[in-house]
Amino acid sequence: MSWTTGKSRYVKDVSKLPKYLQKQFAKEQDKVALPGFKGFYPDLVPRRDQMSRFEAGIMEGDMAYVTEGPHKGKVLEVLAYSPQYDTVSLANVTSKKLIPKPFWPEGQTSHVFDFPDFIPRKQVRVVGKEKDDEGKISYVVAEEVEMGEKYFDERFNQWVPRRYIKHHDYELPWPQPQKVEDGELSTSPEVMREKTFEFNTIGKSTIPKSLVNELRNPYSKYKRRTLDGLQVAKLNGPEMPLTTEQKIWLAKEAEKPKKTLQPLSEEVQDFIGSKMAEHMNKIKSPELRMHLEELSKMKTRGYEETMSAINGEVDKIGSNTDFGIALATEVKTKEQQI
């Protein structure tokens, strides 16, 4: 049996199939579905056309007026909105279905289950409440709703658009979201916000040095401490003879005065220290101060070589002076011969 990515691509998202193949796929699904649920689910909406509850303008907790079907004229509460079907589930609008015992939800005691019907969104209208001066509450049925500017709603903890009745300056407030009850595995916000980690920096690693050899295999066959002759030849190319232009340039560089490193004067050191202290005083973040303090304790190889050169221990600058003088003498001799 062969497996191809082309088949897998269509099986994962049925909406990508042509209409006639979607119907065929639905028939195949009905063969293994429960008898009471055959043809019960509506057609899927393509993912590109699906809308969220705020885009559709209806959500759980709203009141809806039914315009078609056996429940026409009723004002019922919306239990849920299904983006994949573009339908709503209303209170007291159910169908009795037979469900085997392995599929019973928690608390179910009978094979008969009242399953909410899928009502198309086009068959319902959002209903708003209006209170008059006498305190009487009346319902306002919106033929169509439109979204306005967005605002931050603390109840949903997100930015949501304002909902208005189309062609009217009447706002339909969003219903109160359902409270989520804490379960056995829930974590309180106080415990979640408690800091249980240590700030890491480049200078201070959380991995001990003794664990480095355990993380990396020191006996790996790819980790070679010595190189053979062929590898050295590949890493170091052959020494090429210098051209006349290169010799002239080296001779001129040799005639230039030797560069020497001098230690900074006390005035310059005080000036740099004052600027660094001024910058450190402006930093209020303890994490950033800790990061800079750890970096200040580190010493780089270039810094140590520079300090050694200033102290006279190592003098790398001008180490090729003798070679440059010899080249200059050779070039001058050739010029005299010419």
pLDDT digits (tens, 9 = 90+) for 268-296: 989 998 998 898 889 888 888 888 888 88
35-44, 231-240, 283-292, 324-333: segment of lowest average pLDDT: 324-333
What are 67-90's pLDDT values in tens digits? 998 999 999 999 999 999 999 999
- Mean pLDDT highest for which of 112-126, 184-198, 302-316? 112-126
pLDDT, residue 179, reads 83
What are 125-161's pLDDT values in tens digits? 999 888 777 878 888 999 999 999 999 999 988 999 9
What are 35-50's pLDDT values in tens digits? 666 667 788 888 888 9
CA angle centred on 149, ends 144 and 155, rounded to 5°: 90
Q: Give the separation between CA 254 and CA 249, rounded to whole angstroms.
A: 9
- In the predicted structure, residue 267 carries a pLDDT above the cut 60: yes
Q: Give the separation between CA 292 and CA 238, rounded to whole angstroms.
A: 45
Helical H runs in the chain? Answer: 5-12, 19-32, 53-56, 189-193, 212-215, 229-235, 244-255, 266-282, 286-296, 301-311, 321-337
pLDDT, residue 8, reads 54
pLDDT, residue 51, reads 92
Q: What is the largest CA-CA distance in the chain?
A: 121
4-13, 55-64, 181-190: segment of lowest average pLDDT: 4-13
The mean predicted confidence, pLDDT, of the chain is 81
How much of the chain, in percent, has pLDDT values that exceed 70?
84
CA angle centred on 310, ends 316 and 294, rounded to 5°: 105
pLDDT, residue 338, reads 44
SS (H, E, C) 61-76: CCEEEECCCCCCCCEE
List, in order, residues 6 or more apart from 114 with CB less than 8 Å away.
94, 95, 96, 97
pLDDT, residue 174, reads 94
Q: Give the separation between CA 174 and CA 59, rounded to whole angstroms.
A: 8
Q: pTM of the predicted model, to two decimals?
A: 0.49
- In the predicted structure, residue 323 carries a pLDDT above the cut 50: no
- In the predicted structure, residue 64 carries a pLDDT above the cut 50: yes
